A and B are shown apart, each in its own frame.
Chain A
Amino acid sequence: MLIGMLGLDQHEVGAVAVARLLRDAGMEVIYLGRFNLPPGIVKTAGDENGDVIGLSCHSWEYLHYIDELLALLRQQGLSIPVVVGGSVLTAGDERLLRDKGVAATFGPTSSVEDIPAAIRAVVMDARRP
């Protein structure tokens, strides 16, 4: 799994905590850190043969980058699911993201214990023919 943040968003608490949580749950996490733009994320996801891309958001930049990211994945024929989490996600944002094709969203009220299982489910879903 790849975990990263978009644009100039620098509040890393969530990204770091979730990366560790998923490692503890036995997943292989490539931590992309801060300052990523969609082309770089898609390239790394392809090169590393990632199962899922996780974006952590503490700014609203994701709202503007998500279309570009999903379009790039489609263009390159990569069927890697994208999940988005962060305290700035409102219920409305979560609906919007899922409508755009984001596989799962984790807002401030989602339970941390559920995140590894939810991500596993997303990966299994994507592998289904």
Chain B
Amino acid sequence: MSRRSTRSGIPLKPVYRPEDVAALGYDEALGDPGVFPYTRGRRPPDHAAAAWIQRELSGEGAPSQSNAQLKYLIETGATGLDVIGDTPTMAYLDPDHPAAAHAVGTQGVSLCCLDDYRELYHDLPLDGLTVSHSLPPLFGIAGFYLAARERGIDPARLRGSIVQPPFYCEDCGYATHMPFPLRLRMTADSIEFASREMPRFHAFLEDTYYISDGGLDVVEEMALGFVEIRYVVRELLRRGLLVDSFAPRIAILVNCGMDFFEEIAKIRATRRLYARMMREEFGARDPRSLAVNIASHTSGLSLTAQQPVNNIVRGTAQALALALAGVQGIEISGFDEAFRTPSPESHLVGLRTQQVIQLETNVSSVTDPLGGSYYVEALTAEMERRIQEMVARVEDMGDPAALCDRGWFRTLFQDAMERHARQVRDGTKPQVGVNVHRMPAHEDTLLRALAERKIEPSRERVERIRAFKRSRDSRRLRATLEQVSRAARDTTQNLMPSIIAATEVGATMGEVAWVLRAAYGVPGDPFGMMESPL
């Protein structure tokens, strides 16, 4: 790729001029911030409004350890939280599953039962901050809902979000070993439940970060995100829900790589595309249904194991792009991302970076400061065209669910991974310290010891969960799991009430997932190592 194109291959001119934006009418294509089609921002300009939500992805070890981490982040100035489960949790496996043994708590927090959620949120002002969740949706919502309710906090006041990944989870790192119809149902049931019981909570967070951080370009990232949003929206409409009953609580978590203006154009184009789609295709009327909430996590793939201190510079450039694009929330990937989930030091640096940008640079005093730039507007329009074109191309190939089952998306992801590796190898994607400006290993020491520090698996968790399982009232447990099983076999029922009831009497996520998989005709334990809880 020549430098005269964006990372997704959009050809660039040396300079942009008025004729490049001549076709864009202000009211039609841009509009003021807070006005359709929301290209310039989802809210009207307001100096008194709070800045973007400043948070850092967290979760490590046992829930109590993560609780301490969350408190540390709040003390450091975080204005929101974002919790991710460890790999067993994301795979719906309990910590006592034999395949989980060496992964408990090393790449996120280990959560499997109601006690865990109580510990995770202990003493946190749940009705006073937003909590984003990268957790299995049914269980993350049930845990948040129950933990708040028993502390006397009305779930209707809870804010935050939860990732809904029915399409791409199997291929991109959150494999559930569940068939598509069950994954879609878990998504739709949890959104339906939350739109009634937790109306301020974004129960439908479309996460285009995790699908793109293997190497998708920005057009592919957003096109796949829109394919998933459109499918889930159609499913909710098919169930008879009114679009304005759930659309205000759809949000998107996007990636942010190193191509500064391309990322800004992507976010502005997404707001415009989304607003037009919701109004024209899905008939939404509530302005909150049209103006999508976008948060971003900066790209881990753009960070390097070589010269880890450079990752702080990358995070700064990315966060600045996001501030200029006008997002609702920012998380900066830790400088130690190539090696581990964030250390306290990289959490601190991530938050301080955001604070410096917000408080010292004055960039957020004016809304959409790049609006009207010949280049940014031309790139935004081209980005919109390309995303829309790819969405149409994918949907023209047939039912996206069938494409998913056939592995069409998986091939796309693998091709992107291979493309990224090739571009780094041949230098067309410059990475300082990797394919240019390299340094001998013995000199590459700055922050290295810190970045390479490991997290031990939480072995005591395994024993604790085993003991907890033995301590439960097995008769009540069995009765509620049978209720889950019956609900799962009756697609007219919502799964949430029975899962909440089971969770309240001590059922674990792994047990409920076992029952759900079995009801959908697949092995209860994908590894064939655990017995049926029924």
A21 CA to B102 CA in the complex, in Å?
Answer: 29
- Complex interface residues of chain B between 436 and 458 (CB less than 8 A to chain A): 441, 452, 454-455, 457
B403 at the interface (CB under 8 A from A): no
How near does chain B come to A15, taking the closest CB pair, in angstroms?
Answer: 9
Cβ contact within 8 Å between B339 and A64:
no
Residue in contact with B526 in the complex, picked from A35, A60, A108, CB distance below 8 Å: A35
Q: Using Cβ atoms and an 8 Å threshold, which residues of chain B touch A16?
A: 414, 417-418, 421
Chain B residues closer than 8 Å to A112, beta-carbon distance: 421, 425
Q: How far is the CA of A93 from the CA of B7 in the complex (A)?
A: 34
One of A6-14, A47-55, A75-83 at the interface: A6-14
> Once the chains are docked, how many angstroms separate the CA of A24 from the CA of B418?
12
Is the Cβ of A13 less than 8 Å from the Cβ of B102? no
Interface size class of B (residues with CB under 8 A): 35 or more
Q: Chain B residues with Cβ under 8 A from A113's Cβ?
A: 425
Chain A residues within an 8 Å CB radius of B214: 12-13
Cα distance, A59 to B103, chains bound together (Å): 8
A14 to B424, CA, bound (A): 12
Contact A88 B102 (CB under 8 A): no
Report yes or no: A64 in contact with B454, Cβ–Cβ below 8 A.
no
Name the A residues within 8 Å of B87 (CB-CB): 7-10, 59
Q: Specify the main secondary structure of chain A where it touches its partner.
A: loop
Chain B: CB-nearest residue to A92: B452
Encoded as 1 (CB less than 8 Å from any A CB) or 0, chain B from 78 to 93 comes to 0000000001100101
Chain A residue nearest in CB terms to B106? A60
Alpha-carbon distance between A112 and B418 when the two chains are bound, in angstroms: 13
A37 proximity list for chain B (CB < 8 A): 99, 527
- Within the complex, which residue of B173, B175, B339 is in contact with A87, where a contact is CB–CB below 8 Å? B339
B193: min CB distance to chain A, Å? 28
Q: Please, which residues of chain B bring their CB within 8 A of the CB of A63?
A: 102
B311 on interface, CB distance cutoff 8 Å: no
Q: Are B339 and A13 in contact (CB-based, < 8 A)?
A: no
Most buried by A among B174, B215, B306, B339: B339
Residue of A nearest to B88 (CB): A8
B486 part of interface (Cβ distance < 8 Å): no
Q: Which of B101, B417, B422, B441 contacts A12, CB < 8 Å?
A: B417
Q: Is the CB of A8 within 8 A of B418?
A: no
In the complex, which range does the number of interface residues on chain A fall in?
20 to 34
Decide yes or no whether A90 CB sits under 8 A from chain B. Answer: yes
A92 neighbours in B (Cβ, 8 Å): 452
On chain A, the residues within 8 Å of B93 by CB distance are 8
Measured in the bound complex, the distance between the Cα atoms of B338 and A113 in whole Å is 21
Give the distance to chain A from B510, nearest Cβ to Cβ, in Å.
13
Chain B residues within an 8 Å CB radius of A12: 173, 214, 414, 417
Q: Within residues 1 to 50 of chain A, which ones have a CB less than 8 A from any CB in chain B?
A: 7-14, 16-17, 20-21, 34-35, 37
A11 to B106, CA, bound (A): 14
CB distance from B378 to the nearest CB of A (A): 32
Residues of A within 8 A of B101 (CB): 7, 64
Contact A59 B301 (CB under 8 A): no
**A and B contact pairs by CB, cutoff 8 A, 14 listed:** A7-B100, A10-B87, A11-B173, A12-B414, A20-B421, A21-B421, A35-B527, A60-B106, A63-B102, A65-B102, A108-B338, A109-B306, A109-B441, A112-B425
Beyond A13-B214, A17-B421, A112-B421, 16 extra complex contacts between A and B, CB < 8 Å = A7-B100, A7-B103, A8-B88, A8-B99, A10-B87, A10-B173, A12-B173, A17-B417, A35-B175, A37-B527, A60-B106, A60-B455, A87-B339, A92-B452, A108-B304, A112-B425
Of all A-B residue pairs in the complex, the 10 with the closest CB atoms, nearest first, are A108-B305, A17-B421, A8-B87, A64-B102, A10-B173, A61-B102, A16-B417, A13-B417, A90-B452, A8-B103
